[in-house]
Amino acid sequence: MNKRALIAVAVLIPLLVIGGILLEEETPSVPQDQTGETETPSETPTETPTEPPEPESDYPKIASWLAKKEELIESGKPYDLVMAGWFTAEEAEQLRENNPDVILLAGLTTTWVWDNPDWMSFLVTVANYGMETPVEINEDMYLHDAEGERCGFGWASEEWNQEEIWAMDPRDPEWFDLITTFYSVVLEQPQHDGIIVDMVVKKQYWCPEISDEEWLEATKDIYDTIVALNTQNKLVIFNSGARLSDIDAYGEYFDGYLMENFMGDQLQTTYAEGLEAADSDYLVIYGVDTDDTGIQDHAKMRLGLTLSLLNENTYFTYDFGPRDHGQAWWYPEYDVELGEPLGDYYESDGAYIREYENGYVVSAPNGATLSFDELLTDVTSGVQGTSFTVEAGDGRIYLR
């Protein structure tokens, strides 16, 4: 199958962690959190914590894609954008104690289901909230090949202990109703600032029995309905997989998108593509990761982070990779207080530089040697000076 499609599907697989909901009943009436406490969707706004701490700066803007929510909460770190399957009111309050301005986005997909009983129970439970006649996932909702077999993504793995993912038929009216009702419930939650939609593609890669045109038209019908349900005009973020061109046919339906496995070996997007992506009205999230190795490349992390600081409409996240997102990794560079930007970025010696109230950001995909007319401190090394060399594929933040 198409490699891009396979990798993009990774983002919402470990929902038992990222969604924070474990379901023990076959058909529970309302979602439950990891402790088993019942969390009832409600129209009552979440109470604002008393005298929350005020963040000193909006930069850098750190995100978590498919967050391991307990890790983030326990870290006490002020994440700016957190995305997961669901947030309970309590989780939202705890995250807002860390950062009162954090944006919380929840959701799953419109394209597939994971062949995992707990994941299925979560999806169906949320979709059936308040319904007199519960809807279950049935065989007609799946895409089938000419032999009548389900169309799989090839995601099943004994090494990763992960089950298969099956493509769903966007033309099926029952799947249409189930997934749009799911998003209706998510959007109604006052603790959710918006939604995420994973594995968005404008072509189908799994079954020749549905044409690309049929796929696109039927999927647009789903997004038309979700937009109509979004009466509060909450934020909508799509996972593009690699790049905007993979989802631009749906451009009217989303406010921003994630570039998953950014600068990684799996989707092979480039720094230049990321820089160009920010030159738009969309919010862009650079999702850099370890390519599922677990080996943290700090230079690559800094390169992505500094890239995100060249523009206002960009966020940054760094985690394990498509097979396991959302770790609460935090770096000294995240803690800097840059203040407000003093202008647009500019280029010098092949590096991209932007000045802030409290210092400079240098993003150097090709390396650079730079001189400044004032004494600065390299946040990463602690070295002070007026001249610095940045290795190729690295980025640095210098503070006054």
pLDDT value for 367:
97
pLDDT value for 41:
52
Helices (H), the chain: 3-8, 15-18, 69-75, 89-98, 117-127, 173-188, 212-229, 271-277, 298-308
- One digit per residue, the tens of pLDDT, for the chain of length 400 reads 444 444 444 445 444 433 444 333 333 333 333 323 334 454 443 444 444 444 456 899 999 999 999 999 999 999 999 999 999 999 999 999 999 999 999 999 999 999 999 999 999 999 999 888 888 999 999 999 999 999 998 888 989 888 999 999 999 999 999 999 999 999 999 999 999 999 899 998 889 899 999 999 999 999 999 999 999 999 999 999 999 999 999 999 999 999 999 999 999 999 999 999 999 999 999 999 999 999 999 999 999 999 999 999 999 999 999 999 999 999 999 999 999 999 999 999 999 999 999 999 999 999 999 999 999 999 999 999 999 999 999 999 999 9
- Quote the tokens at residue 381: 């090394």
**CB-side neighbour CA atoms (13 Å) of 150:** 17
Are the C-beta atoms of residues 379 and 399 closer than 8 Å to each other? Answer: yes
Q: Per residue in 341-355, is it b (16+ CB within 10 Å) or e — as a string? A: beeebeeeeebbbbb
- Quote the tokens at residue 18: 């990222």
From 3.30.70.660, 2.40.170.20, 3.30.1370.60, 2.60.40.1180, which CATH number describes the 338-400 domain? 2.60.40.1180
pLDDT value for 220:
98
Q: The tokens 């760094």 sit on which residue? A: 318
Q: Is 183 helix (H, G, I), strand (E, B) or coil?
A: helix
182 CB contacts (<8 Å, ≥6 apart)?
Answer: 108, 123, 126, 127
pLDDT value for 130:
80
pLDDT value for 317:
98
Q: Is 50 helix (H, G, I), strand (E, B) or coil?
A: coil
pLDDT value for 135:
84
Q: Which amino acid, one-letter code, is at 250?
A: Y
Domain with CATH 3.20.20 in the chain: 3-335
pLDDT value for 216:
97
Can you tell me the distance from the alpha carbon of 168 to that of 38, in angstroms, rounded to the nearest whole number?
29
Q: Which CATH architecture has domain 3-335?
A: Alpha-Beta Barrel (3.20)
Q: Which amino acid, one-letter code, is at 265?
A: D
Domain with CATH 2.60.40.1180 in the chain: 338-400
